[in-house]
Structure 1
Amino acid sequence: MEEREIAARLAELDGWQLSPDGKAIARRFEFKGFAKAVEMANLAAWLGNKRNHHPDVRFGWGYCEVAFTTHDAGGLTEADFVSAARLNELVA
C-alpha cells in the first residue's frame, strides 16, 4: 500500500497507530486486571482464525496489544485494515 492510502485508512481507525517501520498497525487496549486482558487476547485470536488473518498479540496485567501486518506481502494490505476495523466493532 502507498503511504497516502495507509494514512487515510489509519485515520478511519480509532485507536490504531502505524508501527515505526511502517509495516504494521497496532492498538493497545487497557483494562483493570488480568482476566480482561486475556479475554481481549482470545478475542483477537478468535477473529484471526475466523478471518484467516492472524494478528500478533501481546498481553499482561492490564493490557493487550494487537498488531496486524501481512507477512506474505511484507507490509500492510487491505486485510489488515479490515481486520482492525472488525476488532474495533467487536469491542465497541
Structure 2
Amino acid sequence: MEATEIEARLEALDGWRLSPDGQAITRRFAFKGFARAVEMANLAAWLGNRRNHHPDVRFGWGYCEVSFTTHDAGGLTDADFACAARLNDLVA
C-alpha cells in the first residue's frame, strides 16, 4: 500500500497511528482499572477471530493497545483498515 493511501486512510480512523516502521496501525485505548482493559483485549480478539484477521494486543492496568498488520503481505492491506474501523464502531 502506498504511503499516500495509508495517510489518507489513517485520517479517517480516529485514534489510530502508523507504527514507526510503517508496517502496522496501532491504537491505544485508556481505561480506569484492569477489568476494562481485559474486556477491550477480548473484544479485539473476538473481532480478529470473526474476521480471520488477528491483531497484536497488549494490555495492562488502564490500557489496551491493538495493532493490525497483514503479516503475509509484509505490511498494511485493506483488511487492517477495515478491522480498525470496525473496532472503532464497536467501541463508539
TM over 0.5: yes
Give structure 1 stretches of 5+ with no counterpart: none
**SS of equivalent to 2:7:** helix
CA distance in 1, matches of 2:83, 2:47: 8
What is residue 66 of structure 2 aligned with on the other side? Answer: 66
Report the TM-score, using the length of structure 1 for normalisation. Answer: 1.00
Tell me how many residue pairs correspond in the alignment.
Answer: 92
Corresponding residue for residue 55 of structure 1:
55
In structure 2, distance between residues paired with 1:79 and 1:73? 11
Output the amino acid matched with 1:54. H
Structure 2 counterpart of 1:40:
40
Identity in percent = 83
| TM-superposition CA deviations, 1:18-49 (whole Å, max 9, x none) | 00000000000000000000000000000000
Residue 70 of structure 1 and its aligned partner are, at CA, apart by 0.1
Match of 2:15 in 1: 15
Give TM-score, length-normalised by structure 2. Answer: 1.00
Letter aligned with residue 80 of structure 1: D
Ranges in structure 2 where 5+ consecutive residues have no aligned partner: none
Letter in 1 for 2:36: K
Q: Determine the C-alpha separation between the residues in 2 that align with 1:11 and 1:21.
A: 18
AA aligned to 2:20 is: P
